[in-house]
Structure 1
Amino acid sequence: MTGKLVHTGQVVMDLVMRVDSVPEAGGDVLASTTTLLPGGGFNVMAAAARDGARVLYAGAHGSGRFGDQARAALRGEGITIAQPPTEDRDTGVCVVLVDDDGERTFVTGTGAEAGLPPDLLKTVEVTTEDVLYLSGYSLLHESNRAALLGWLPDVSVATVLFDPGPLVGEIPTDVLTPVLSRVDILSCNAREARELTGLADAVSAASSLTKRLGSGAAAIVRDGPAGCALARNGEARHIPGFPVTPVDTNGAGDTHCGVLAAALLDGADLASAARRANAAAAISVLRHGPATAPSGSEIEEFLTRR
């Protein structure tokens, strides 16, 4: 690999609680386990790094206890940190409820990661061999949004990978549209694709999404154990997945994006990269999360058995 993954999204701390079911409004349930782990953008970067990619975190991070824990985790994965800590604010926390079916529900409290100063991204060097990762969460925060929209037109990169995230419906249209025009690969899950297109079928949704992207751009719709749909240049296809019985789906989409980026950086074509990402996501849901991405050798071993 000659290029690197440049991640411009947010790292937060995930407070993960396993519950029998998510409580009704005004109700309460007892969690069987509670853990505090790095999450958010960390999951994507860890997945790429474990699959052999060089990774640079270009986002903001706080100066308190949570920021210290996030930075230690990033360095533990061999990820380079581009920015200094924000002095007057700590990193945010996301409460993650994981039920018995492995499904997850989020409540996010933002911190320093939501306040990226506009000028900081201009200090980040991006080359034509890199993959630049954008998160839809960045477009919900005024400071991050301004930084990205002011920086993207000046960046010449091989691939811009965009994951709009579960709050895609809250991104203003006048913000989302210009970002989509700069995207080379859009990757979202089936629920997000349905919100963007109104289509339940993953292949049809992927095909529809390409019409909102620039010329030659691709759309990937992640569809859980079914795999993913891939559309590009007027052609759409299904990339089969690897059905498993999940214990925790938290971070599976992040694993998919991170391994997809690593495979592209390693020279794989998009369809092959998507299949490898499907395998990595299948492995990740067999572990309690959020950062459950496998190593490159684990992915290889998994694929040889299929």
Structure 2
Amino acid sequence: MRLLHLGNVVVDLVLTVDALPVRGGDVLASSTTHAVGGGFNVMAAAARLGLPTQYCGVLGTGPFADQARAALRAEGIESSGPVRPDLDTGFVVALVEPSGERTFVTSPGAEATLTPDALPETTPDDLVYLSGYSLLHPTNRATVVPWLAHTPATVFFDPGPLVADIPRAALNTALTRTNWLSCNLPEARALATHQDPHDAAETLLHDLPTGAGVLVRLGAGGCLVGERGRPVRLVDGFAVEAVDLNGAGDAHAGAFLAGLAYGKDALEAAWWANAAAALAVTRRGPATGPTRAELESFLRGRERPPRE
């Protein structure tokens, strides 16, 4: 099995602040770092757990693109997409508060210019990661939506925080081709129009194709796992001291996909994913998913979810 990621790799400019500025105001950052993020976070999380991973998105030309290429190489991630000579890779400004909560401003670049020739042939053994951001950029949306209808791969869809901004037709097409839908609780509530987490998960599951599943991420509380014909189940999270929530959902996605690739059932893959996210938030930075050795060490001696 391999993971194919449709985009988007960007560079994160991470500023740690005591509080967000008021409108029209200004604050001083206590620290500033820059690292490759966006779609890279999911790929790094999966690759560190041993899942062969390929980036199918567009890379640019410039300092941000150079940083992205170096990061992909360092994680052993193949890049199969085209290169734009006239655009740099985009970037994201992330403001991190003392609680670990983060706020983003995104400036798109070459990764927002995906064309059909960049997308690979797929097989039923492939795993495809689709981000809602790919459905926000008009060029990427026009490329990805028709392609989804024909791929035989398992599609994992994370609509992201801007789910309400995705054109409804594109969102509906993505959902009809989704095998696994993963949302945090605010995203699940927005999609399902239910406040109760279990009700939201049930509604989302009902709207997905037969045989599909849904994950509703609850932060430190773990995640809900929904599969057709079974009650929605809670897989508990892990108590850790969080220092940076940036990339937690990405670590969760990468670990869940790696778990599926290793033949784990949905509950055990979610258990793996919860542990990976817990480890990720104890470290500063966007791509902080653990290695397989770190994950297995963390889980050693802990109670597994019941096997299906």
Query: Under TM normalisation by the shorter chain, which class is it?
Result: over 0.9
Q: Which runs of 5+ in 1 are unaligned?
A: none
Tell me the SS of whatever aligns to 1:154: coil
Residues 203, 238 of structure 1: 8 Å contact kept: no
Task: Report how far residue 245 of structure 1 moved.
Answer: 2.0
Choose the corresponding residue for 1:289, options 256, 276, 285: 285
1:61-103, Cα deviation, whole Å (9 max, x unpaired): 1111101110110010000000131111000010000000000
Alpha-carbon distance between aligned partners in 1 of 2:297 and 2:104, rounded to the nearest angstrom: 32
Alpha-carbon distance between aligned partners in 2 of 1:155 and 1:110, rounded to the nearest angstrom: 26
1:146-295 equivalent positions in 2, closer than 5 A: 146-157=142-153, 159-234=154-229, 235-295=231-291
Tell me the SS of whatever aligns to 1:119: helix
1:38-64, Cα deviation, whole Å (9 max, x unpaired): 000000000000011000000111111
Residues 130, 265 of structure 1: 8 Å contact kept: no
Alpha-carbon distance between aligned partners in 2 of 1:226 and 1:58, rounded to the nearest angstrom: 33
Alpha-carbon distance between aligned partners in 1 of 2:196 and 2:283, rounded to the nearest angstrom: 28
What letter corresponds to residue 232 of structure 1 in structure 2?
E
Task: Report how far residue 305 of structure 1 moved.
Answer: 4.3
Task: Report how far residue 125 of structure 1 moved.
Answer: 2.6
1:141-167, Cα deviation, whole Å (9 max, x unpaired): 11111111121122111x210000010
Alpha-carbon distance between aligned partners in 2 of 1:305 and 1:70, rounded to the nearest angstrom: 37
Choose the corresponding residue for 1:16, options 14, 20, 25: 14
Task: Report how far residue 208 of structure 1 moved.
Answer: 1.0
1:220-248, Cα deviation, whole Å (9 max, x unpaired): 00000000001111421111111222100
What letter corresponds to residue 122 of structure 2 in structure 1?
V
Choose the corresponding residue for 1:118, options 113, 116, 119: 116
Alpha-carbon distance between aligned partners in 1 of 2:240 and 2:109, rounded to the nearest angstrom: 35
Choose the corresponding residue for 1:54, options 44, 52, 55: 52
What letter corresponds to residue 225 of structure 2 in structure 1?
L
Residues 202, 228 of structure 1: 8 Å contact kept: no
Percent identity between the aligned chains? Answer: 53
Tell me the SS of whatever aligns to 1:221: strand
Alpha-carbon distance between aligned partners in 1 of 2:244 and 2:171, rounded to the nearest angstrom: 30
Q: How many residues align?
A: 301
Choose the corresponding residue for 1:78, options 76, 79, 87: 76
Tell me the SS of whatever aligns to 1:260: helix
What letter corresponds to residue 222 of structure 1 in structure 2?
R
Alpha-carbon distance between aligned partners in 2 of 1:20 and 1:297, rounded to the nearest angstrom: 35
Residues 119, 147 of structure 1: 8 Å contact kept: no
Would you say 1:140 and 2:161 are equivalent positions? Answer: no
Scaled by the length of structure 2, the TM-score of the pair is 0.96
Choose the corresponding residue for 2:89, options 88, 91, 116: 91
The match for 2:305 is none
Tell me the SS of whatever aligns to 2:36: strand
Alpha-carbon distance between aligned partners in 2 of 1:149 and 1:262, rounded to the nearest angstrom: 25
